[in-house]
Amino acid sequence: MQSIINYFKPLIFLLFFPLISNAQDKPNVVMIYVDDLGYGDLSAYGGTKIKTPNIDALAQDGIRFTNGHSSAATCTPSRYSLMTGKYPFRKSGTGVLPGDAALIIDQEDLTLPTLFKQQGYETAIVGKWHLGLGEQVEKDWNGSVKPGPLEVGYNYSYIFPATADRVPTVFLEGHSVMGIDPKDPIQVSYKEKIGNEPTGLENPELLKMKASPNHGHNNTIINGIGRIGWMTGGNQARWVDEEVTLTFADKAIQYIREHKNKPFFLSYHATEPHVPRMPATMFKGKSGLGYRGDAILQLDHTVGEIVRTLKDNGLYENTIVIFTSDNGPVLDDGYEDGAVTQLNGHNPFGPFRGGKYSAFEAGTRVPFIISWPKEIQKGQTSDALVCQIDFLSSFANYFGTRIPQIDELDSENIWESFIGKDKTGREFLVRSAGTNSITKGHMKYILPSKGQAVAKLTNIELGNNPEDQLYDLEKDPGEKNNIAKQNPKIVKELKEQLIKIRGL
């Protein structure tokens, strides 16, 4: 008898599997992961000089977190944590990557998209990558560029390699650069000039947007904008900045339509409002705040289109939409684009000190919204301490799957906080900038550092101080009042805990 059952097992499985795993019940997940957007950049978070109705509507349909964080104050380390559930200091080489860097995610690691894949999801990334491509720096951009997103958990990818201000300024679908022309091969270098194309340094008269002095966005000129790094060839493959978001939005919308009958995990990694800010013509001049504000309006518009696509396809109710940013805001990050001169009283930092690159709050405390009309009560605000690093363990918990107990997994299961049932969140959180900080309850400790106090180029206070810093974020969200000296016991406890986790 047993052997008969064994014989028919595959058949029984095939017959009943669709019933057991009713794919329709699994929520889709759309992660809208944006670049350098500040806590105060949305009207939902108190911005008064800018209107972001589509993102605000998402917040109204779900939870607006007021103490939500990226893991780090720059892009690559935050994305490393989002993908792997590990703090970026667990691995060397997780700082801001050049455009020709090799892949930094271990292919053996359990990643967020792999987790979804294991649960039968279709998985895709559209937008900014910035986690490296290929086995090594030297690679042939004209051939198959791998490993990349497809090797670390995504079934589909349509990306650009690093940042919009770094070469190569091209899109890749899967392993291939789009628009490759064998007669005009692409070459990339971060060491020296290659080819004889004009650079921002030698031919500033060719620029349509000036680079800020000393930032270094003055290498190869592409679409009238000086970039970091040199590139030659691939003229047909080069993007036009004004089309980048329209391209990504189109791919994301198409993906949703094509996958409406399967559960999917779509990561939409927007480039706004990272430099160079060069929005589509229809947004130029619209915000009255320069191209940075216009880029935010373009982002808001795209969010509206994505949500509309979900609604039109009957998917919105059972889709978890996550909206958050990889790090805090910066005004002058390399170009004279009006972000400083046309700020007009807009405050991207909200009530917080610092900004992108900083250990102060504005470095990582970012807009953080989750909606899921079917399961999450709408109109909530939560001040639970939550971090993007926690999506991995929290979704694993939701799926009821055990993730391998890796010693260095820093991701925590805070599912109840993500769906608004718990308003406390993590017990503590470590964050990375030039130095590290640890927050426990409302107390935040920043490890002493000899780094510069203020970054001259970006005019951002970095949070570096040779002395211990302790702030009570409840009484002093702006971190004005260092109370380390008055609280030696708390300093000792937090410092020891941070040093232990950091492995120093």
With CB under 5 to 8 Å by kind, the binding choice for 216 among ligand NG6, Ca ion, none is ligand NG6
The position carrying tokens 């008055």 is: 486
- Select 75 or 112, whichever has its Cβ closest to Ca ion: 75
Q: What angle do CA 293, 295, 299 make, to 5 degrees?
A: 115
- Does 79 help bind ligand NG6 (rule: CB under 6 A)? no
CA dist 201 and 211 (Å) reads 9
Phi, psi of 383 (to 5 degrees): -105, 25
The length of the chain in residues reads 504
Pick one of 333, 361, 410, 461: the residue that binds ligand NG6 (CB under 6 A).
333
From first CA to last CA, the distance across the chain in angstroms is 61
Q: What single string gives the DSSP state of each residue in 320-359?
A: EEEEEESS---S-SSB-SSTTTT-TT--TTTT-S--TT-S
CA distances from 413 to 282, 375, 395, 421 (A): 42, 18, 8, 13
- Select 35 or 41, whichever has its Cβ closest to ligand NG6: 35
Q: Please give the residues from 376 up to 435 whose contact with ligand NG6 meets the rule CB under 6 A.
A: none
- Does 271 help bind ligand NG6 (rule: CB under 6 A)? no
- Does 74 help bind ligand NG6 (rule: CB under 6 A)? yes
- Does 228 help bind ligand NG6 (rule: CB under 6 A)? yes
- Does 70 help bind ligand NG6 (rule: CB under 6 A)? no
- Select 75 or 231, whichever has its Cβ closest to ligand NG6: 75
With CB under 5 to 8 Å by kind, the binding choice for 26 among Ca ion, ligand NG6, none is none
> Which residues would be at the binding site for Ca ion (CB under 5 A)?
35-36, 75, 326-327
CB of 101 to ligand NG6, least distance (A): 12
Classify residue 402 as exposed, middle or buried by CB count within 10 Å of its CB (0-12, 13-18, 19+): exposed
Phi-psi region of 264 (alpha: psi -120 to 50; beta: other; left: phi over 0): beta
Which range binds ligand NG6 by CB under 6 A, 47-55, 167-175, 261-269, 327-335? 327-335
Cα 350 versus chain centre, distance: 19
Strands 68-69 and 386-387: parallel
CB of 216 to ligand NG6, least distance (A): 5
- Does 292 help bind ligand NG6 (rule: CB under 6 A)? no
- Select 64 or 356, whichever has its Cβ closest to ligand NG6: 356
Which range binds ligand NG6 by CB under 6 A, 48-56, 235-243, 326-334, 486-494? 326-334
Pick one of 64, 86, 130, 227: the residue that binds ligand NG6 (CB under 6 A).
130
- Select 74 or 111, whichever has its Cβ closest to ligand NG6: 74
With CB under 5 to 8 Å by kind, the binding choice for 436 among Ca ion, ligand NG6, none is none
- Does 332 help bind ligand NG6 (rule: CB under 6 A)? no
CA distances from 18 to 12, 13, 489 (A): 11, 9, 58
Q: How big, in percent rounded to 5, are the helix, strand and coil portions of the chain?
A: 30, 20, 50
- Select 75 or 115, whichever has its Cβ closest to Ca ion: 75
Per CB under 6 A, residues contacting ligand NG6 are 35-36, 74-75, 96, 130, 163, 165, 215-216, 228, 274-275, 327, 333-334, 457
